[in-house]
Structure 1
Amino acid sequence: MTRTLMASAAFLALAVANPALAQAPTRDELADLVRAQAAEIASLRQRVDALEATRTAAAAPQQSAPVVAAAEPEQAAPTILSTQPYAAQLLPPGPAERDIERVRATAVAATDVTTEWGQGLPVFHSGDGTFSFKPRGRIITDVSTTRGSKYDGRNLTTTGMRALRMGLEGTVGSHLFYQFESDFSENAVDVVTAFIGWKNKIAPGLDYDVRVGHLFNDRSFEGSTGSDSTPFAERTVVATAIIPQRAFYGLGIMPRLFWKTGHASLTVTGDRIDGDQSTSDNRTVIARAHWNPIKSPRQVLHLGIWGFDEHLQPGKNTLGRNTVIGGRFNGALRLSTGDIIGGTGTTGYGAELGGYTGPLWVMAEAGERHARLDNGRPDFVTQAWSVSGGFFITGDLPPYNPRLGSFGQPKVLRPVFDGGPGAIELTARYENLEFKDIATPAQGWAATLGANWYLNSFVRFQVNAIHWNTENTAGIYTGKDDGETLTARVGVTF
């Protein structure tokens, strides 16, 4: 406590003890006392401003601390509490804490780390350009309701997480890159993408990369499109049925070659990550190529071919299909064959034809899969085809990725968060699937009308209205059946 404040306290104590003394000071003495108190308050105000300037300089060393003018005594008293940079009940940081903050800020400045914001999360770059790092995430939530089936067990209303992923990606130097993602959508940890890679240029307009690890298939147009980028709530039956037995992922190697109008890839993998090393893995080889004979800022023609061959090991040779036809989140609504034992391998192939002009896009896909069986039995054959299309009524271009020949994240012209309408897309699709040349054949088709609203490049809402028709000979729901499914989705991709 300062001398002036101590004098004031002593005077008040005497006044309380002897009321007669309270009237002793003259007006000039009281005026002197008030001026002294105001000076003390102004001094305290200057000290607080100095502390605040020091903290600001430590937090942002690249900026000069503002020069704070001393307040006049009569202005200091009413505003002193509102300028505190810390809670009133806490003490300001001491000298040691301020030194630590300065050292930390200096270290950050010395590394010259830069940060940019892209798909909702920051991307960090080292000052020398050697390293980059970016968190990744995907949250996709669905609700689905089915009506019209002759089986009550199919008329369900359900909810589910199509994807709930967290991961990271980064680069080291100009050539090395990596990516890792885990998915928690089924309330269990599932490693999905996990690889390291090397990239380089061969010549102007010609480059390559090689990835090693747990890899996502490069197979068919929508089969090569991530779940966060498909124009419908579920991929086409070509992508979901003309597929290796190990499904969308396998552990192995994938070299890819890129040129100005297309790409080609070759993938050799074993099984998915499963923790089972007691038997040999199945072996799968996949190849795909796409070409854009027409490629301009507003027009693209897409041609693609692909195929795979899979060898199944004894003990891992049970075949069978249980394929989505009217939405993922109705487990009773599938085209099913039941288990088929004695498989020795599978071979599949397909073709893609489509493109876009302005805001209108169309894509057709077809494929066939032969599952080889032992003991001289004929192949179990799967055939599928689909025709899809969309139109952006807001004038945005389709999110076609010419480097990979698949869909990616859209570039929204007028995002909602900038005061625009976002990107609004109307979609339609027809798809057909048939399992044949087995004792339990099945066939079905589905017609879908949809709408997508992209608030910006990484936030979207989807609605799909699906009329489906199935005919199963295996499982609980046999015979012909049809109905309608309405699916809604909200998705965020970082």
Structure 2
Amino acid sequence: MMSSLLRGGCAALALIAATPALAQTPSAEELAALVKAQAAEIAALKARLDKIEGQAVAQNAAPVAAQQSAPQVARQQASEPLVIAPFAPQIVPPGPADIDVAQARAVAANPSGVTTEWGAGLPVFRSADGVFTYKPRGRILVDVSSTMGSRYNGRNTTTTGMRALRLGLEGGVGPHFFYQFESDFSENEVDIVTAFMGWRNRLSSKVDYDVRAGHLFNDRAFEGSTGSDSTPFLERGVVSTAIIPQRGFYGIGIMGRMFGPNWHASVSVTGDRVDGQQATNDSRTAAFRAHWNPIKTDNSLLHVGAWGFDEALSSAATTLTRSTVIGGRFNGAVRVSTGELLGGKSTTGYGVELGGYTGGLWVMGEAGRRVARLTGGRPDFESKAWSVSSGFFLTGELPPYNPRLGSFGQPNVLDPVLNGGSGAIELTARYENLDYTDLVLGGDGWAATLGVNWYLNSFTRIQLNGIHWRTNNRAGAYTGSDDGQTVSARVGVTF
């Protein structure tokens, strides 16, 4: 392009000098002035071209550096030993609150002016000095569900709902401090979900950590640790929804996490969810989870995990009655119930995970058990659940497994629809079983699910699940053995 400009300038000068139709022949001084002006203009154009080309190279290289070599760049800047980046290429790169300290240092060590980088749906803003990073967050999950085949007409319903309708933000200050906040509006009211601040650093060349405090999402079970926008099915399995602290998926407290090349471990102590009740003590929940990848190659991986929690219940949370959905989230009548259970004083839950993937095929098995201790000398109550799930990507993607956290993330689609491609297509299957029969009025049930997921790009998906379920409740409106089918669909966008 530069040589073309030079040739064009010389041709213009030759044309001026050779054209006889000019009103008068320019003097030598005028020609010299004209040549000098042309040279200055060409120099200015060259400077602008160099700047534009430099920006284009930086923008094209930034996503690659963020996904593949940010830790290496940071170590070159800080003269640190080499550590392999913990994020797999088949998932969308994490935001400012989830990157490791080496990647955060890489951003701070390479300031290039105020920048805006477009990633999965929304931009990441960086300050000119590389110190401040900010990214908006959002999640829209729209569901429809229809149930048929039950012997109870009250269970044969068609419903719609918003599984999630979230807005939030995340960011960081320097390589160490980070924060995240999200609110959910899906129930037509404001519900604070994730809200924390944290600090990250390194213990050695191969081990880093973070500590976060605030309203925290559980690190518990494989599907229970996966966000609602990343689960391969429309709803998490019964291990995650039934073997759970009484306060649910969130609690206010502190969590420490440690990460190695092929493992992670977390420990947390939390109270209740965000609420306006301070007249009694909170329940206290201590929890841990760890996962290990003993086999980890470019296209295969083995996952082993374990988790547990222990909670001392508040005097305001002694009712342990539970009714767990098993035919999809948006049919509240298809549930397995414990019957009325009062007088709880504490619970302990634990579980194991075993699975992995090879190529586009993944398999995951989970099992969990929860023991509820009751007042008045009554015997403990045990809940038991297990599941086996699998999926296969027909379009060549690797499963969106995050080896840093031991959970699923957003997939990196190879051929997005918005670029004229076919997107990514995944077939899924799951069997799950839930048992509350340790109680006199407790029920049991199971569900078998077949599904297909179409990922239009890395942040947009369409999901379809067909569920055959069976329940056997001993209390409530729908007692006795009953079965039926539920078909559910979802359109989801995460940014």
Pairwise TM-score range, normalised by the shorter structure: 0.7 to 0.9
Query: Do 1:378 and 1:437's aligned partners in 2 also have CA atoms closer than 8 Å?
Result: no
Q: CA deviation at 1:337?
A: 1.8
Query: Do 2:302 and 2:355's aligned partners in 1 also have CA atoms closer than 8 Å?
Result: yes
3-state secondary structure, aligned to 2:436: strand
Query: Partner amino acid for 2:138?
Result: G
| 2:380 pairs with 1:386 | no
Q: How does 1:190-269 map to 2 (within 5 A)?
A: 190-269=191-270
| 2:358 pairs with 1:357 | yes
Match of 2:285? Answer: 284
What TM-score do you get using the length of structure 1 for normalisation?
A: 0.77
Query: Do 2:233 and 2:465's aligned partners in 1 also have CA atoms closer than 8 Å?
Result: yes
3-state secondary structure, aligned to 2:376: coil
Match of 2:85? Answer: none
| 2:489 pairs with 1:488 | yes
Query: Do 1:373 and 1:379's aligned partners in 2 also have CA atoms closer than 8 Å?
Result: yes
Query: Partner amino acid for 1:292?
Result: N
Q: Distance in 2 between matches of 1:141 and 1:237?
A: 21
Match of 1:318? Answer: 319
Query: Partner amino acid for 2:137?
Result: R
Match of 2:297? Answer: 296
CA-to-partner distance for each residue in 1:382-423, whole Å, 9 max, x for gaps? 000000000001111100000000000001111111111110
**Which one has a bigger Cα radius of gyration?**
1
476-485 or 432-441: bigger deviation: 432-441
3-state secondary structure, aligned to 2:247: coil
CA-to-partner distance for each residue in 1:179-221, whole Å, 9 max, x for gaps? 0000000111000000000000111120000000000000000
Q: CA deviation at 1:275?
A: 1.1
Query: Partner amino acid for 1:123?
Result: V
Q: CA deviation at 1:296?
A: 1.3
Match of 1:116? Answer: 117
Q: Distance in 2 between matches of 1:167 and 1:297?
A: 34
Query: Partner amino acid for 1:161?
Result: M
Q: Distance in 2 between matches of 1:198 and 1:307?
A: 24
CA-to-partner distance for each residue in 1:281-339, whole Å, 9 max, x for gaps? 00000100000001112111000000000001223211011101010000111111233
3-state secondary structure, aligned to 1:417: helix
3-state secondary structure, aligned to 1:280: coil
Match of 1:404? Answer: 405
Greater RCO structure (CA 8 Å; 6+ sep): 2
Match of 1:274? Answer: 275
Query: Do 1:138 and 1:163's aligned partners in 2 also have CA atoms closer than 8 Å?
Result: yes
Q: CA deviation at 1:428?
A: 0.4
Q: CA deviation at 1:474?
A: 1.4
Match of 2:421? Answer: 420
Query: Partner amino acid for 2:409?
Result: G
Query: Partner amino acid for 1:314?
Result: S
Query: Do 1:182 and 1:192's aligned partners in 2 also have CA atoms closer than 8 Å?
Result: yes
Q: Distance in 2 between matches of 1:339 and 1:211?
A: 37
CA-to-partner distance for each residue in 1:420-461, whole Å, 9 max, x for gaps? 111000000000000032221100000000000001110000
Query: Do 2:339 and 2:442's aligned partners in 1 also have CA atoms closer than 8 Å?
Result: no
Q: Distance in 2 between matches of 1:228 and 1:465?
A: 19
Q: CA deviation at 1:140?
A: 0.2
3-state secondary structure, aligned to 1:238: helix
3-state secondary structure, aligned to 1:222: coil
Q: Distance in 2 between matches of 1:204 and 1:421?
A: 41
3-state secondary structure, aligned to 2:418: helix
Query: Partner amino acid for 2:413?
Result: V
Match of 2:127? Answer: 126
Q: Distance in 2 between matches of 1:475 and 1:176?
A: 50
3-state secondary structure, aligned to 2:341: coil
Q: Distance in 2 between matches of 1:281 and 1:339?
A: 22
3-state secondary structure, aligned to 2:273: coil
Query: Partner amino acid for 1:373?
Result: L
Match of 1:151? Answer: 152
CA-to-partner distance for each residue in 1:129-149, whole Å, 9 max, x for gaps? 100000000000000000000
RMSD of aligned residue pairs (Cα, Å): 1.2
Query: Partner amino acid for 1:398?
Result: P
Q: Distance in 2 between matches of 1:465 and 1:316?
A: 36
Segments of 5+ residues of structure 2 without an aligned counterpart are 1-50, 53-110
Query: Partner amino acid for 1:194?
Result: A
**Percent of paired sites with the same residue:** 70
Query: Partner amino acid for 2:162?
Result: M
Q: CA deviation at 1:111?
A: 9.9
CA-to-partner distance for each residue in 1:321-372, whole Å, 9 max, x for gaps? 1101010000111111233110001100000000000000000000000011
What TM-score do you get using the length of structure 2 for normalisation?
A: 0.77
438-447 or 213-222: bigger deviation: 438-447
CA-to-partner distance for each residue in 1:208-256, whole Å, 9 max, x for gaps? 0000000000000000000000000000100000000001000000000
3-state secondary structure, aligned to 2:224: helix
Query: Do 1:467 and 1:482's aligned partners in 2 also have CA atoms closer than 8 Å?
Result: yes
Query: Partner amino acid for 1:148?
Result: G
3-state secondary structure, aligned to 2:288: strand
3-state secondary structure, aligned to 1:153: helix
Query: Do 1:254 and 1:268's aligned partners in 2 also have CA atoms closer than 8 Å?
Result: yes
Q: Distance in 2 between matches of 1:419 and 1:192?
A: 36
Segments of 5+ residues of structure 1 without an aligned counterpart are 1-61, 64-109
3-state secondary structure, aligned to 1:112: coil
3-state secondary structure, aligned to 1:308: strand
Match of 2:461? Answer: 460
Match of 2:83? Answer: none
Q: Distance in 2 between matches of 1:316 and 1:274?
A: 13
Match of 1:180? Answer: 181
3-state secondary structure, aligned to 1:221: coil
Q: Distance in 2 between matches of 1:197 and 1:338?
A: 41
4+ runs of 1 displaced by more than 2 Å?
none
382-391 or 310-319: bigger deviation: 310-319
